[in-house]
Structure 1
Amino acid sequence: MSNKKIRWGILATGSIARVFAADLKLLPEAELTAVGSRRKASADKFADEFDIPLRFGSYAELAACPDVDAIYIATPHPFHKENTVMCLNAGKAVLCEKPFAMNAREAQEMIDAAKSNGVFLTEAMWVRFTPLFQKVRQWVTDGLIGYVRLIQSDFGFHSKRGVDSRVFRPDLGGGSLLDVGIYPISMASFIYGCQPETIQSSLRFGHTGVDEQAAMIFSYNGGKMAVLSSAITLWTQRETLIFGTKGFIHIYGPWHQLQKVCVHVNDEDTIETFPRLGRGYGYQALEVMNCLREKRTESTIMPLSETLEIIKTLDTIRSQWNFKYPTE
């Protein structure tokens, strides 16, 4: 595999799958070989758009395809576990869209399947893999802004889709926390390297039964804090600020256009702009392919142990709200 292109399959044909497919086509190391959908017509349409030779009218056919090395799971949240385990049992490496699973029980089952099969698995928290985020963590680790004590991060947008769309449907794992709240929560974990000791949270439910707006305060050992929020019915700045004893780092939003960072140290601002390949989704694919060539079964950038702990944090927040999804 080290001298050959990694052959990719995409499971599902929705909007996020289209973004990933477009970015994957920019990578010379990758070959987009196959796509699977619940309907053959949908697979054919997607395959025609992205020039994919193999197209299947079921996910099981894609998982069984011998001409695929790695599969990107792009189905709605409640189907991640089922689809991922199926692909892992078929011996395929898996990059599973975030949130990784609906709850910690599902996440553990997915991780267990990967380990029992000796197959690669990671969560597609794409922003982590970008040069910008890797540089920010290096600055924090090197102590550029001193001891970090506060993170402020938000992701809110006003969905123009109707109430029948995925983000408003409880049966499809809708709501702000799982859909976009995962970004600032994962950011806090990325910077602090651990989960909070205590969590305070508040939310507003919409008439479809999902959380349309959420706010959280995380407290950690050593006096560290994170103030986070998410929304699907209002616009927020969609930015991140990391405050330390010597200065701060300002990651300009929105999340899907991350390229510019301001580093404020010694009362001086330094603006850095980072290159971005396509929409930025290709960097996670590069990490998957590097891991496969090095015969690693997980990524150090998004370790499975951290993915599981983040899901447990999401579970804790939802337990404070007494909020369960119909699939649980």
Structure 2
Amino acid sequence: MKKYNWATLGCGVIANELAAAMEKKGEKLYSVANRTHEKAVQFAEKYGIEKVYDNIDQVFEDENVDIIYISTPHNTHIEFLRKALKAGKHVLCEKSITLNSEELEEAINLAKENNVVLAEAMTIYHMPIYKKLNEIISSGKLGDLGLIQMNFGSYKEYDMTNRFFNRNLAGGAMLDIGVYALSFVRWFMTSVPDQVVSQVKMAPTGVDEQAGILLKNKEEEMATVMLSLHCKQPKRGTIAFDKGYIEIFEYPRGQEAVITYTEDGHKETITGGNTKDALYYEVEDMEKTIDRIGDFTYLEYTKDVMQIMTDIRKQWGMTYPEEEK
């Protein structure tokens, strides 16, 4: 494959993992851009990155940049997506890729107009365990899908100024952790859910603190999702078929699943990939897509999930400041 110059826009936790992923490939990030120049310089020194921009817009103007990884807060994504895609850069954007389906549609159209690849950095679509499970399910040995149950609960202190509860930073359970659960549901469901109902508990800041979601598609496959930012839950996914069920823990970056067969109760452990290499798999799939080895972006799934999240928030009457302009 061709060697691509990657730039990171943002230098937080995910950017550090991206730098480590590039090192696993035997490469380095080409450049770094960040709102705070001093942090960008420190990041570059840490990973031996040669190029640091004085201001963010220079990354879009740099003709040597092939791919930009955006890992800034959710509400800034569309601004940077517009600039990057119009500049002809391929973009891998941290989840949630945009605030809503309208912004995503705009970004997708820009990518098409400029003949570049756009993808969401959703680990579930790239971890080897999920591709392996799909092969097992497609073989028919588990029978027909009936029900998916998803849990994701993290305990965050009631600090209404941090990003999890901050409406001005697109906080809330849906965009932060719900996107994982719904992407899992979409990955395994035969078609997109067309019936969705939900309940929500709002935080004092006006973002969703806790939610329960029920989904069903035209095949009558069903799913339940329980989310919370203030109640710890196991990150567990259960996929139930008529001949057995699959359990996978720590599913956002899963590497092991257990199948229990209905007839005799025996168990089978399936392994694939490594949790710590999550960003490496994303980088590999992105580059393979650009090289036209195949389409590994699963952008249609991203669209489906974003539409579900957008519709649910409309049901709740919950908006972000950027959506009220």
TM-score range (shorter-chain normalised) is over 0.9
Which residue of 260, 275, 278 corresponds with 2:256? Answer: 260
**Contact persistence 2:213–2:224 (CA under 8 A):** yes
Structure 1 residue 16 corresponds to structure 2 residue 11: no
Structure 1 residue 152 corresponds to structure 2 residue 157: no
**Contact persistence 2:118–2:297 (CA under 8 A):** no
Partner of 1:248: 245
Count of residue pairs brought into register by the alignment: 321
Change (3 A) 1:301 1:173: same
Cα deviations by residue, 1:118-147 (Å, 9 ceiling, x for unpaired): 111111112220111111122222223110
**Could you tell me how far apart the structure 2 residues matched to 1:277 and 1:241 are?**
19
Task: Give 1:273 shift.
Answer: 2.9
Partner of 1:273: 271
Which residue of 297, 307, 310 corresponds with 1:312? Answer: 307
**Could you tell me how far apart the structure 1 residues matched to 2:190 and 2:19 are?**
31
Change (3 A) 1:313 1:254: closer
Cα deviations by residue, 1:51-90 (Å, 9 ceiling, x for unpaired): 1111113221112122221110101111111111211111
**Could you tell me how far apart the structure 2 residues matched to 1:284 and 1:109 are?**
23
Partner of 2:175: 178
Structure 1 residue 26 corresponds to structure 2 residue 21: no
**Could you tell me how far apart the structure 1 residues matched to 2:252 and 2:276 are?**
14
Where do 5+ consecutive residues of structure 1 fail to align?
none
Task: Give 1:224 shift.
Answer: 1.2
SS at match of 2:133: helix
Between the aligned residues of both structures, percent identity stands at 29
Q: How does 1:181-200 map to 2 (within 5 A)?
A: 181-200=178-197
Task: Give 1:31 shift.
Answer: 3.6
Change (3 A) 1:23 1:161: farther
Partner of 1:212: 209
Q: Which moved more, 1:130-139 or 1:236-245?
A: 130-139
SS at match of 1:167: coil
Task: Give 1:108 shift.
Answer: 0.6
**Contact persistence 1:198–1:219 (CA under 8 A):** yes
**Could you tell me how far apart the structure 1 residues matched to 2:268 and 2:178 are?**
29
Task: Give 1:247 shift.
Answer: 0.4
Task: Give 1:161 shift.
Answer: 7.8
**Contact persistence 2:28–2:47 (CA under 8 A):** no
Change (3 A) 1:184 1:277: closer
Cα deviations by residue, 1:211-231 (Å, 9 ceiling, x for unpaired): 111110101223210001211
Cα deviations by residue, 1:81-113 (Å, 9 ceiling, x for unpaired): 111121111111100111111011100110010
**Could you tell me how far apart the structure 1 residues matched to 2:224 and 2:243 are?**
20
Structure 1 residue 45 corresponds to structure 2 residue 45: no
What letter corresponds to residue 214 of structure 2 in structure 1? I
Partner of 2:282: 284
**Contact persistence 1:39–1:57 (CA under 8 A):** no
Partner of 2:235: 238
Partner of 1:114: 111
**Could you tell me how far apart the structure 2 residues matched to 1:293 and 1:165 are?**
40
RMSD: 1.7
SS at match of 2:155: coil
What letter corresponds to residue 124 of structure 2 in structure 1? V
**Contact persistence 1:203–1:213 (CA under 8 A):** yes
What letter corresponds to residue 162 of structure 1 in structure 2? D
Task: Give 1:19 shift.
Answer: 2.2
**Could you tell me how far apart the structure 2 residues matched to 1:154 and 1:49 are?**
36
Change (3 A) 1:143 1:179: same
**Contact persistence 2:255–2:275 (CA under 8 A):** no
**Could you tell me how far apart the structure 2 residues matched to 1:13 and 1:207 are?**
30
**Contact persistence 2:289–2:297 (CA under 8 A):** no
